[in-house]
Structure 1
Amino acid sequence: MKKAYLYLVVFTSILMSCSGGGDGDGGGPDPDVENTAPTVPTLVYPLSNTLCIDNNVVFEWNASTDSEGNAITYRVEVSENSNFSTLSHDLSSSTTSRVISLEKGKSYYWRLKARDVKGAESGYSSVSQFLTEGDGVSNHLPFAPELVAPAMNSEIDGTSTTLSWTASDVDGDTLSYDVYLDTNSSPSTKVSEGQSGTSYDATGLSAASTYYFKVVVKDGNGGATIGQVWSFKTK
């Protein structure tokens, strides 16, 4: 009987040691920390209205930061269109610079965004427009105009509005502008020719309509650049 009692005590002790003690929460792992996107990178070179003498352009930007300390890569986009509808180059970089070989004598736009190793992406940086030097070029084309107002695809009150834009020329030439405006997605009605100002008062517009306009920039030395088509709506 003593031996049986001893076995029972030992067996009970083993059960107690295996069952664990206390009524705690079990010490489970902390919930996963939400991953946040890196900050938006900022452009360093080339900035807007830059003439790049070498067509092997060194693109540079300031580094993004990541609050979780994740590794970051950058997506660099270069396009001949300000809306980036088609890309000349779409490249990745783990550093804050990238050399890209471009065609000579052309106007380009570029932007980039950051992505961490967990897939979170920042928004896009600002956009810069620049030129590459052409062989034997004595006169450079003006930069394409940039929209000021009305905002792209915006809706305006009434049947009149002021169209405005900005433009520049690397040679410092005096610029003039032709303005095309109508309800066709490829506007062909020239409403102003050779004006010196960078705005046009559009009046007599029809209500509940979509209007399209574009600006052709001319430098007086035979150079002309056709801007992209912009649009707005009337109520």
Structure 2
Amino acid sequence: MRIILVLLFGVLLIGCSKKSDPKPPVAATLVFPNKDSECTTGRDLSETTSEIEFKWMASDHTESYELRVTNLNTGITQTMNTNAISAKLPIAKGEPFSWLVRSKNTKVSDVATSSTWHFYNAGYLTTHAPFPAQLVNPQNGASLFKDINNEVTLEWSAADVDNDIIGFELYFSTENPPLDLIAFTTSTKRSQVVGVSSNTTYYWRVITKDAEGNSSNSGVFTFKAL
């Protein structure tokens, strides 16, 4: 009798137990092309195009990956889906690109996105424009409280293959796009305190300048001061 009760109890436990929910995918770690570098290993396809192999590390709970490569000059994005941890794409020579990988799993709706890396595809250029500055804080579309001095701090990051950035033009206003040049900072200063008013939406962008006269535009970010 005792054995029968134990068996019945075990069956009940199994019947009542639930399968664990599938776990969402984890973001992949990018490997190559290297961040803020010039990629010189492409296979020549023509005078204007080479084939680059993009590589990343496998991520947990992932069935497939989506590679996204964007030409920073044209804004055109190429995508490729794969089950592997590398993929080859033909891209233009002598152009700056950004790339990222999205990890997917058909059992869940969540998609994990890797960090975004920039690189130049080697070509005929002997000098390179800086990569567009990445606006770090405030995040695009954010709402944030001003400090006791009615100010917020704008922060950005920047990189250049030639390592010859000389400074940044900061445009900031309540108009979109912002046309008011409020500061030109040195290459080492990548933040600026600005005065703001409550319940007001602001727009800002950063133009990066280098010693060869090249420049790049970060694009416009917006935030609301509370």
TM-score, normalised to structure 1, is 0.76
- Matched ranges for 1:28-107 at <5 A: 31-53=18-40, 54=42, 55-66=50-61, 72-80=63-71, 88-107=77-96
- What is the CA–CA distance in structure 2 between the aligned matches of 1:231 and 1:115, rounded to whole Å? 30
Q: Does the 8 A contact of 2:28 with 2:103 survive in 1?
A: yes
Counterpart of 1:124 in structure 2 is 113
Which moved further from structure 2: 209-218 or 187-196?
187-196
Counterpart of 2:130 in structure 1 is 142
Distance 1:224 1:60, change over 3 A: same
Counterpart of 2:166 in structure 1 is 175
Structure 1 residue 138: deviation in Å?
1.4
Is residue 2:195 matched to residue 1:208? no
Q: Does the 8 A contact of 2:135 with 2:218 survive in 1?
A: no
Is residue 2:142 matched to residue 1:151? no
Aligned residues: 205
- What is the CA–CA distance in structure 2 between the aligned matches of 1:161 and 1:97, rounded to whole Å? 42
- What is the CA–CA distance in structure 2 between the aligned matches of 1:193 and 1:40, rounded to whole Å? 36
Structure 1 residue 231: deviation in Å?
1.8
Q: Does the 8 A contact of 1:106 with 1:131 survive in 2?
A: yes
Structure 1 residue 201: deviation in Å?
2.2
Larger radius of gyration: 1
Which structure: greater strand fraction? 2
Structure 1 residue 212: deviation in Å?
0.7
5+ residue gaps, structure 2: 43-49
Structure 1 residue 37: deviation in Å?
2.4
Is residue 2:152 matched to residue 1:165? no
Q: Does the 8 A contact of 1:38 with 1:116 survive in 2?
A: yes
Structure 1 residue 33: deviation in Å?
4.2
Q: Percent identity?
A: 25
Q: Does the 8 A contact of 2:174 with 2:201 survive in 1?
A: yes
CA deviation map 1:22-76 (0-9, x unaligned): 995699797544222233211111232021123422110111223xxxx721111
Which moved further from structure 2: 216-225 or 149-158?
149-158
